[in-house]
Amino acid sequence: MSLDPNGKKATGLIDLADARAIADGVHQNPYAVLGGHKRDAGFIICAFDPGAEAISALTGASTETPLEPIAGAPGVFAGRLKRKSAYRLRARAGETSWDFEDPFRFPPVLGAMDEHLISEGTHRRLWEVLGAHIVIHEGIPGVHFAVWAPNARRVSLIGDFNQWDGRRHPMRGRGSTGVWEIFVPGLSDGAIYKYEIVDRSGNLLPLKADPVGFGSEHPPQTGSMVRNLDGHAWQDDRWMKRRSGLQNINAPVSIYEVHLGSWRRVEAEGNRPLSYLESARQLVDYAVDMGFTHLELLPVSEFPFDGSWGYQPIGLYAPTIRFGPPEEFRALVEAAHAKNLGILLDWVPGHFPTDSHGLGKFDGTALYEYADPKEGFHQDWNTLIYNYGRVEVVNFLIANAVYWLREHHIDGLRVDAVASMLYRDYSRKEGEWVPNAEGGRENLEAIAFLKRMNETVYAECPGIVTIAEESTAFDGISRPTDRGGLGFGFKWNMGWMHDTLDYIQKDPIHRKYHHHQMTFGLTYAYSENFILPISHDEVVHGKGSMITKMPGEGWDKFANLRTYYGFMWTHPGKKLLFMGCEIAQGSEWNHDGSVEWHLLDHEWHRGMQSLVRDLNKAYRTIPALHVRDCDPGGFEWIDHQAEAESVFSFLRFGNEGDAPVVVICNFAPVERHDWRVGLPVSGHLKLVVNTDAQAYGGGGRGPAGNVKTEDVAWNGRTRSAVFSLPPLSVLIFTLEENETEGN
């Protein structure tokens, strides 16, 4: 080969400026140079490997055509074949040689329809085209990578397979979509990779993990990992077909909220957390034995910082590697379904951390986040806020919701921190936020996103449920979108939680002055489809455990907590309890520790566990305690005005033919004899639960069995019964009717 005197061209093969740009890793369109290209004079092959001293093209069974090195462009080689032909490359350095497929000889993988949907922001299967996918392309096995970075000058794939050298695998830009892609032959499951991005000004950015990566390295390492999502033979068809009837507003829904990293640890092995497979046995069996209907897992999307508990995710599409690979996470889900236990995930579309390998300034611009810090920076958490006004970002988030529900058979998503998304002035002072287009404080773009998300997942994934953690009075959280709501299935009842916890923590002598805190929740109990949550947030950051919140000492603390749980499980609304609360754990939650299982050696803690188990059983098996949780016709006060005595009594109703439930709560440490309660029918009352039973650690006081009604008018009703109320207790009865009166 000859060069002209000015060094501008490698005659008939390659422009020297192009070759040098390839060698330097700055070429704007490397696919126009590298690979095979038909030219007038034949078929030109250009290859680049900075570690090679020589490269040849292998064609046919045995033909080897040496490529010539391009002077001034180290590692760049070019040559001519007589005709267009499939080829492989053979490189040599010293005595070593290696054969490989040329990634630049392959055509694009993404199709025109994918490009259109990505640009439009409507690709409901976005994860099927972005990220890393093990494929066979043009008959060759390998991995296809695609990433959205519309403002980048160059995007390169890097990893151990190319010595983390961004010059070796520059990606192909797909024009207006902003997507870059490359097919790398020979890679497979487990390969570690990142993206090296040069911004529009030519600045090299911090290495980025894949936003749509399905796996990650173990923290503190931050690389993405190729994971094969194909081929899992799901065995949960029976559950999937039935689940819509098991998690709707008429079903008993009792949720055990769990942080996988600290539910149970293996002390003999360095206090490590359980793996997904170990949880599939131990956690699932425990939740089933306790009578819960669902597990809710704190976020499992990959996250860099253990102390965030998963609420600051970076790998939104990757089950955290802390407990095993994605296939083992699926095994946990499948094990739960095999035992009729639903799996809910905490999902965090409200913000993301500023870690340099994450989404922040992904292509050198505010791509995923709002550009203005008044819109795009969370002051409370030092995180970034997604730009809900950008169609590609909304698509990324909605597709992620669908991904978890479809690919991992998750039964529902509990959306975190919804209030922070709904309001532009959330936790901000005057002048620190930007009004919406109408001058108001609502984030209209986030509202539109949440509506579209709910519409999409309910349409795409039959039988699932979405739940909002929302702490304000925003109207219509769980109302369908076609009726002006946000479209969630349920909403956490934060008001109920705050009021009742405040009440139960007071010394009983003062409770008569705060009686309304236990009754106020019924004034709005049916404005949304509510879940009553005692979540991780109530037992961390100095708030103490549930048992330490209770007034008094020793036995009184346990009696107060048993009474509170009895009230909670009989109050309208689905139930949620954080791990450890069911055994009256003594310490507040520590994400680096474990539930204090040793406390079960003490009868009071075992008794609390037994009570929660029996409350779940009663809630699940007695229709009146759940079928009308979200229907005002399912509840009626008997007496809510006994402030001086701190006693509440009420009725729960099911459907026609279901026995009503009578609940009497005594929140005073005083035993009350001959306490008469008005009833709607004559018959007998069958005792279901007495929270003061000795089996629960109580004093064993109160009725021993059935109680008969009397034809004595009381509480505005023509019939009544007399009870002995144990101190600090809840009595739950089914009312076996002889006749009905008005219900």
416 is catalytic: yes
> CA of 541: how far to CAs of 90, 533, 544, 587, in Å?
60, 17, 8, 11
Closest listed residue to residue 144, CA positions, set 99, 193, 98: 193
Instruction: Give residues with Cβ within 8 angstroms of 580, minimum separation 6.
Output: 539, 545, 589, 595, 596
Residue 625, classed as helix, strand or coil, is: helix
289 is catalytic: no
Task: Please tell me the distance from the alpha carbon of residue 301 to that of residue 407, in angstroms, as a whole number.
Answer: 14
Q: Which of 469, 528, 639, 737 is flagged as catalytic?
A: 469
Rounded CA Rg of the chain: 32
Task: Please tell me the distance from the alpha carbon of residue 666 to that of residue 741, in angstroms, as a whole number.
Answer: 26
Calculate helix-pair angle for 555-570, 603-621, nearest 10 degrees: 10
Token pair of 544, please? 């103490």
Burial class of 166 by CB neighbour count within 10 A (0 to 12, 13 to 18, 19+): buried
Q: Which of 101, 102, 375, 416 is flagged as catalytic?
A: 416
DSSP code per residue over 91-143 = EEETTEEEEE--GGGSPP-S-HHHHHHHHHT--TTGGGTSEEEEEEETTEEEE
Task: Please tell me the distance from the alpha carbon of residue 489 to that of residue 478, in angstroms, as a whole number.
Answer: 5
Per the CB < 8 A criterion, the answer to whether 640 and 519 are in contact is yes
Task: Please tell me the distance from the alpha carbon of residue 467 to that of residue 492, in angstroms, as a whole number.
Answer: 7
Q: How many CB atoms lie within 10 A of CB 626?
A: 27
Residue 387, classed as helix, strand or coil, is: coil
CA quadruple 682, 687, 690, 693: dihedral, nearest 10: 140
Task: Please tell me the distance from the alpha carbon of residue 559 to that of residue 570, in angstroms, as a whole number.
Answer: 17
- Sign for the pseudo-dihedral over CA of 336, 337, 343, 349: positive
Instruction: Give residues with Cβ within 8 angstroms of 495, minimum separation 6.
Output: 520, 521, 524
Per the CB < 8 A criterion, the answer to whether 579 and 256 are in contact is yes
Per the CB < 8 A criterion, the answer to whether 725 and 647 are in contact is yes
> CA of 48: how far to CAs of 52, 154, 173, 342, 401, in Å?
8, 17, 19, 52, 40
Angle at 223 between CA 96 and CA 188, to 5 degrees: 55
Q: Tell me which residues are annotated as active site.
A: 416, 469
